[in-house]
Every structure is written in structure tokens, then in C-alpha cells.
């Protein structure tokens, strides 16, 4: 199955907790640490039950059994659709034994609430026939500006359902910069849309496109705007096939064009500040196996000692361990922070790319050789290295003199 980034939510008590990234809400009976990720829908399985995806499909895990009693899934329905169409929304529960359909306990203006007894894969679905009764949904329009290439930049325009997390889309856009604007609009499934810009004269492709519902696994631009120059202000318009405007925003691209790469891509960035800027995502996204490998690298590189490793391992939750590691190394200064960044590239290059960490230079590439890292050799005093070399030469000469 296609896997996206793993997210983490630490729920510290009974009650309701919301994820800022996905807008999922968890109803908790006790303290627990939750991990979850998006996985790919099996469209044939949905079609056989007369359903179609109405949100992302999530797979959940919990540190404590029966800690989660409710899941609240964000939907993209308008108030008219909720009022006019009964039984449009439900939630499916998918296990190795098959798929079951859960009837909502409640449907609010923003979420569908269901009761759960154990965790596996859950996702929001539409009734395929009843969806035809009202095709208008709450949508969002996202913009990403690609880095300059051959004297032009490309502005990618995405027409999406409102309940697709921005983070899921951003993960697949490489070095493109997210251009934050107010994104809300109404879109109709099956309707054709086109994009216009003011000032005019920029190439836009395609000329029009029919809006279709799709919840991953891939998120490709709906439109591309080819910018031969970067205007101080650009007005972006989206219109339907009747030329009615459904979206109009003034977009400022000047700051993005001057700094197409984030500060993390600058070779002169302070490693301590870099770690601080990615601290939250590092803590949420680092897996337990990667954390253990990081500890080994940092220990071999003499950045942390045995007592500090035990201090990390004494933490109850994975997130606390990751937080302890990044704070401990960051407080040791730039050299230690650089080694952690280099180690993360070795241990989890996918996460390093998603965090947009700068690629480590040759002096900080960590490759263990006979139990010692390059760094531990490179950073010995010069006199020690010379003495070791002379001792080796003397040993070789003594060996051959006995022949």
C-alpha cells in the first residue's frame, strides 16, 4: 500500500484532541500516544459496496488498547448538501477480514463522528448514488511556486476538496514553495474550470479541466501558470464553464521569487537554528527504528555518551525520546547539531528531504569504519595522527627486518 508521512498525536488525558495538520479529532478514554498515516484507497472495494471516497483513508495505531472511543473525520460538504441529502456520509472500517460500514453518531458542519472499539484503517465515504443529488462541495485552491528554471518560474494551481490536508499535497511538491492565501471556495464535481491571470500574457495549461474527486495517492497540479516575469502583484481567477468567477485572489509572489528556497537550504544557516526550526516536525515524524539508529550514530561520533543514551531510553513515549535527542544535541552547539543533521540523512533520507534539511558536506558524512566514524578520526589532534602514523611505519619496518 502507498504510505504517506506518519503523524503523531500525544493525548494527555481523556477528552477530545484535534490534529492541526489533518483536522482529525480523537475522542479519548485515557492518556495515549497515537500514530497514524494515510494509505491508498482500494477503489474496487468501495465500488462493490456502492461507495466512493469522501476523505483520506487513515491507518491508526495506539500505545494503549481501547484508548480511543471516537473518531471525528473532517468532511467537505456544504450546508445545503447536509440538509438536502440524507445518508450521504458514512465511515468505513477496513481490516484484513474485509470492510464494514459505520453509521455516524453525529454529523456536524465540519465533521462526521463515529464510535470505534479498536484501531486499524478508517476513512470517510460517500454514497455513490446520493452524491449525484448534490455535486457541490467545499473546496480549496492551493498554490505552489516552483524554483526558477531557465529564466521563468511555474506557479502550480491545485483545485481540491477542502478536507485534503495541505501537508499531504506539500510532501509531493519537492522544492516548490507553498504560497499561503485564503483558499476557500465552492467547487462542483464534474464541472469544467479554467484559470485567468491579471496581468495577462502568461502561458496557462490546460485551457480547462473537469473537476473530479480524488483523495490521493498522488497530487498533481490542476493548472500550470508559466511566469516569464514575477509581477509585484498577481490576480488569480478561477471560473466555471459559464465564465462565472468561483475564486479570485490577489497573490503576492515577490517574496517567494527572491527566496525560492527556504532558509534551511542556505549553506550558511546555523545548524542549531535549523534544528530548532524543524523541531516539531522532527518529533512528530521520526520513527522508533530511525531514532535508535540515530542514537547509535551519535554515540559512535562521540556526540552523546552512555548516560545520555539511557536518559533518552528512559522516556515513556517515542515523541518524548525524539524531543530529548534533538534538544540535547542542539544545546551542545553547532558541531553536534551538524552531526545530527548528517546522521539523519544517513538514517532517514526521506524525512530529511521532507524537513528540507541542507545536505551535509563531506566533513560531516557519517560512515562507520571498523567501529569508528570518520568524524572521530578527523577530529583527533594533528600530533596524535602524526604519532600514530610514525608508529605504524616503525611497526612495518620492524616486521620486515625480522624476515
pLDDT for 131-144, tens place per residue? 999 999 999 999 99
User: Is the same domain home to 34 and 87?
Assistant: yes
User: Is the same domain home to 269 and 362?
Assistant: yes
User: What's the average model confidence in pLDDT over 300-310?
Assistant: 92
Is 2 part of any domain? no
Q: In angstroms, rounded to a whole number, what is the distance separating the alpha carbons of residues 293 and 84?
A: 54
The percent of residues above 90 in pLDDT, for the chain, comes to 59
User: Is the same domain home to 212 and 301?
Assistant: no
Helix axis angle for 318-330 and 334-347, nearest 10°, is 140
Q: What is the pLDDT of residues 263-275, one digit of tens each?
A: 333 344 688 888 9
Tell me the CATH number at 68. 2.60.220
Q: pTM, whole model, 2 decimals? A: 0.68
User: Is the same domain home to 111 and 154?
Assistant: no
User: Is the same domain home to 42 and 158?
Assistant: no
Domain total of the chain: 3
Is 288 part of any domain? yes
Residues with Cβ within 8 Å of 119's Cβ and at least 6 positions away in sequence, in order, are 60, 61, 62, 68
Q: What is the pLDDT of residues 93-123, one digit of tens each?
A: 999 999 999 999 999 999 999 999 989 999 9
Three-state secondary structure call for residue 46: helix
Given pLDDT bands bounded at 50, 70 and 90, which one contains residue 5? low
Is 396 part of any domain? no
User: Is the same domain home to 224 and 150?
Assistant: yes
Q: What is the pLDDT of residues 309-361, one digit of tens each?
A: 999 999 888 888 999 999 999 999 988 998 999 888 888 877 887 787 876 65
Is 161 part of any domain? yes
Three-state secondary structure call for residue 266: coil
Using only C-alpha atoms, the chain has a radius of gyration, in whole angstroms, of 26
User: Is the same domain home to 172 and 119?
Assistant: no
User: Is the same domain home to 69 and 150?
Assistant: no
Looking at residue 167, what is its pLDDT?
86
User: Is the same domain home to 355 and 304?
Assistant: yes
Of 272 and 81, more confident: 81
Three-state secondary structure call for residue 78: coil
Q: Which residues of 312-344 are buried (b: 16+ CB within 10 A; e: fewer)?
A: beeeeebbebbbbbbebbbebeeebbbbbbbbb
Residues with Cβ within 8 Å of 382's Cβ and at least 6 positions away in sequence, in order, are none
Q: In angstroms, rounded to a whole number, what is the distance separating the alpha carbons of residues 16 and 14?
A: 7
Is 144 part of any domain? yes
Is 389 part of any domain? no
Give residue 350's region: left, alpha or beta (phi > 0; psi -120 to 50).
alpha
Of 103, 133, 163, at which residue does a domain stop?
133
Tell me the CATH number at 237. 2.60.40.2660
Enter the DSSP assignment of 146. Answer: P
Q: In angstroms, rounded to a whole number, what is the distance separating the alpha carbons of residues 379 and 376?
A: 6
User: Is the same domain home to 75 and 166?
Assistant: no
Contact (Cβ atoms closer than 8 angstroms) between residue 8 and residue 37:
no
Is 184 part of any domain? yes
Q: What is the pLDDT of residues 37-78, one digit of tens each?
A: 999 999 999 999 999 999 999 999 999 989 999 999 999 999
Three-state secondary structure call for residue 191: coil
User: Is the same domain home to 168 and 253?
Assistant: yes
Domain that holds residue 281: 263-382
Antiparallel, parallel or unpaired: β 25-28 and 153-161: unpaired
User: What's the average model confidence in pLDDT over 231-246?
Assistant: 93
User: Is the same domain home to 188 and 240?
Assistant: yes
Amino acid at each position: 500500500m502507498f504510505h504517506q508521512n506518519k503523524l503523531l498525536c500525544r493525548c494527555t488525558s481523556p477528552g477530545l484532541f484535534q490534529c492541526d495538520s489533518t483536522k482529525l479529532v480523537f475522542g479519548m478514554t485515557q492518556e495515549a500516544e497515537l500514530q497514524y498515516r494515510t494509505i491508498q484507497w482500494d477503489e474496487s472495494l468501495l465500488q462493490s459496496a456502492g461507495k466512493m471516497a469522501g476523505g483520506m483513508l487513515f491507518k491508526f495505531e495506539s500505545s494503549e488498547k481501547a484508548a480511543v472511543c471516537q473518531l471525528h473525520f473532517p468532511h467537505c460538504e456544504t450546508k445545503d448538501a447536509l440538509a438536502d441529502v440524507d445518508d450521504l456520509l458514512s465511515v468505513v472500517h477496513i481490516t484484513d477480514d474485509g470492510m464494514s460500514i459505520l453509521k455516524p453518531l453525529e454529523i456536524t458542519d465540519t465533521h462526521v463522528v463515529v464510535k470505534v472499539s479498536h484501531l486499524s484503517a478508517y476513512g470517510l465515504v460517500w454514497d455513490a448514488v446520493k452524491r449525484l443529488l448534490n455535486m457541490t462541495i467545499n473546496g480549496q485552491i492551493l498554490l505552489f511556486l516552483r524554483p526558477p528554471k531557465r529564466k521563468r518560474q511555474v506557479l502550480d494551481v491545485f483545485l481540491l476538496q477542502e478536507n485534503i490536508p495541505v501537508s499531504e499535497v506539500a510532501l509531493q511538491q519537492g522544492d516548490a514553495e507553498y504560497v499561503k492565501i485564503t483558499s476557500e471556495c465552492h467547487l462542483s464535481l464534474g464541472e469544467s474550470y479554467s484559470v485567468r491571470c491579471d496581468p495577462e500574457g502568461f502561458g496557462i495549461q490546460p485551457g480547462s479541466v473537469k473537476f473530479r474527486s480524488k483523495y490521493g495517492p498522488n497530487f498533481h497540479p490542476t493548472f500550470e501558470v508559466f511566469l516569464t516575469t514575477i509581477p509585484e502583484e498577481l490576480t488569480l481567477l478561477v471560473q466555471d464553464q459559464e465564465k462565472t468567477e468561483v475564486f479570485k485572489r490577489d497573490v503576492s509572489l515577490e517574496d517567494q521569487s527572491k527566496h525560492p528556497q527556504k532558509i534551511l537550504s542556505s549553506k550558511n544557516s546555523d545548524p542549531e537554528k535549523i534544528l530548532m526550526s524543524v523541531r516539531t516536525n522532527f518529533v512528530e515524524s521520526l520513527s522508533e527504528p530511525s531514532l535508535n539508529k540515530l542514537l547509535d550514530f551519535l554515540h559512535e561520533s562521540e556526540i552523546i555518551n552512555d548516560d545520555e543514551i539511557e536518559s533518552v531510553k528512559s522516556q515513556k513515549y517515542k515523541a518524548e525520546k525524539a524531543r530529548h535527542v534533538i534538544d540535547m544535541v542542539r544545546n551542545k552547539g553547532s558541531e553536534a547539531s551538524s552531526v545530527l543533521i548528517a546522521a539523519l540523512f544517513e538514517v532517514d533520507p526521506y524525512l530529511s528531504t521532507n524537513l528540507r534539511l541542507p545536505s551535509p558536506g563531506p566533513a560531516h558524512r557519517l560512515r562507520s569504519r571498523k567501529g569508528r566514524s570518520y568524524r572521530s578520526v578527523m577530529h583527533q589532534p594533528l600530533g596524535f595522527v602524526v604519532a600514530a602514523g610514525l608508529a605504524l611505519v616503525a611497526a612495518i619496518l620492524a616486521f620486515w627486518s625480522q624476515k
